[in-house]
A and B are shown apart, each in its own frame.
Chain A
Amino acid sequence: MTASRLTLWLLFAPFLAWVLLLVVIPHIDLLILSLREKVAPRVYETGFRNYADFITSSVYPWTLFRTVAFSLVTTAVTFVIGFPVAFYIAKVARGRRRAALFLLCLLPFWVSEIVRVFGWMMILRETGLLSGFLQWAHVTSGPVEFLYNDAAIMIGLVYTSMLFMIVPLISTIDGLDDALIEAGYDLGGNGVTVMTRIVIPYAMPGIMAGSIVVFMLSLGNYLTPTLLGGKNGQWFTAQIYNQFITRFNWELGSAFGFILLITSTLVVWLLLRLSGQSLSNTLGR
């Protein structure tokens, strides 16, 4: 039995080092730093001033709200667009076609996010393809700027998140026995009731897994809102970046980081509660 205890510890040690040194302790340190107030050069006190600064500011809470709301909308839009496609790949397409479509879904996501965003910039900007096409078709007389607005951010976020919605959806819907759908029809259901009573409840773990990942990715995204939203695209991660890199105010930045972490945890927890799922049965499958 001692040999198996030794094995257990040998397996446990790398896991512990990873989770403690790179996840748990850094976040505790982040919390400590966020509670530190600078009273004079190199003199610090413990307190909630950084958090108070956040709450009393006219800009920061609004940015956070905007970011969360946008991320939720992104998640919903991604689901609405992606679900029919996932269902098509999992249940309608067969054999080689199905494999090819699945691969086609994956392909864009093996490419860096920066390339994908770059593509949308080339399409949407004033001198870009969309504007050029509209002028060529005489819909508009001059160049039109489609970049640097909220819609552009949304297009980019949905695009960049799509895979993370579709793949878990495909894998759960794939597990749904066709006979259940047939039984639904056999017992007098129609397309709508079969979808809402059978398919969607069955796919719930996949839906939640996809939604959580998409929400997290949008909330924590910096690249897409910054490049596609420009100065108008106030995203909370950009505030964190500013505090850390531009203003070198790590204390306030840490507080922002913690606020974002708590917000995201809260939203994820709410989503799980509302759908009756748990973290390990959605992500940990």
Chain B
Amino acid sequence: MIPSIPQPRGIRFAYGAYVALFFLYMAAPLAVVATFAFNDAQFPGLPWKGFTLDWFFGTERPKIGLIHDRRIVAGFFNSLIIASCVTALSLSVATTTAYLFERHSFRFKELAYMLMLAPLVIPGVILGISILVFSSTIANFASDTLGIEISALRPGMFLVVLGQFSFITTIVTLVLAARLRKFDPALEEAALNLGASPLTVFRTISLPWLRPALIGSGIVSFLISFENFNTTLMLNGSDAPLVITMFDRMKEGSTPVLNAVSLALMLGSGLLGLIGVLVQRDRGGN
């Protein structure tokens, strides 16, 4: 129990050991993946055949490093584009939506709020197929009756962006709304009272207040988008993002280049995530 309540040493020790064991469980698979990125073998796993960096920088078959693996590099850039679009879109819509729910009252607000939360309780696969079905309905209608082929509505990057956006926006909205709730509306009134126009109030008072939450949730939405699999799987086309490329490789059986990609992802997302935490902590206080 809490430190102010005395406990037998044995129990305290056992509790500590359990927590340590838990973190071992958390770290194990990642450590394994990272270690074998340096194994000089054709196959990811035992036995250990010596240290190499070929899975990062190798140029010759069969040891083609990740920076020379065309499909992986293409997947990475596709993911980058998708994640950037999703982040920009969801931040904009989430900001207006957070304001809508925190600052305004209107009829059917409860219902609207439930709808806003809904994407969190809809399985990702279903979000994916529903958007796939709807966009195909429109695309089919356009080509059947109007004779126009709207390729953007066929599986591909655009639909992946829409699909990820549809649920990431809910998450970002919740983060921003929480930040907005802690905001003292008197600050905005004070700025108005000191002669600022409503737009200036937003720019000089509200936006600086939201900034840590915007950066934090921006990073979160970037990461979620980058690693999303279930929704993406249903909507992706020929321009597959990195996780789909990795999935295909994994099914085929792959060289340790997959470990190298994984390690790069770990480092990249770990770094981004840390930045997000630090940004939010720095001025997250009051």
Chain A residues in the interface with B (C-beta under 8 A) = 7-8, 10-12, 14-15, 18-19, 22-27, 29-30, 33, 81, 84-85, 88, 91-92, 94, 101, 103-108, 110-116, 118-123, 125, 127-129, 132, 159, 162, 178, 181-182, 185, 191, 194, 212-213, 216, 219-223, 227, 237, 240-241, 244-245, 250, 253-254, 257, 260-261, 264-265, 268, 279-280, 283-285
Contact = CB atoms under 8 A, between A and B. Distances in A.
Interface residues of B, number: 86
Contacts of A221: 230
Contacts of B19: 84-85, 88, 101
Interface stretch (B1-9, B56-64, B183-191, B209-217): B1-9
Contacts, number: 251
Contact of B262 (A108, A118, A254, A265): A118
B166 interface: yes
B80 interface: no
Contacts of B258: 118
B67 interface: no
B134 A25 contact: yes
B123 A216 contact: yes
A47 B281 CA distance: 55
A30 B136 CA distance: 11
B243 A112 contact: yes
Given A11-B96, A25-B134, A127-B46, A114 B229 contact: yes
B30 interface: yes
B160 interface: no
Contacts of A181: 1-2, 5
A257 B130 contact: yes
Contacts of A250: 133
A265 B22 CA distance: 31
Contact of B100 (A15, A29, A91, A220): A15
B38 to A, nearest CB: 14
A232 to B, nearest CB: 16
Contacts of A29: 130, 133-134, 137
A121 B29 CA distance: 9
26 contacts: A8-B100, A11-B96, A11-B100, A12-B100, A14-B96, A23-B115, A92-B2, A106-B273, A106-B277, A108-B30, A110-B269, A110-B273, A111-B30, A114-B243, A114-B246, A115-B30, A116-B29, A118-B250, A181-B2, A182-B4, A216-B123, A220-B125, A222-B125, A241-B234, A279-B117, A284-B174
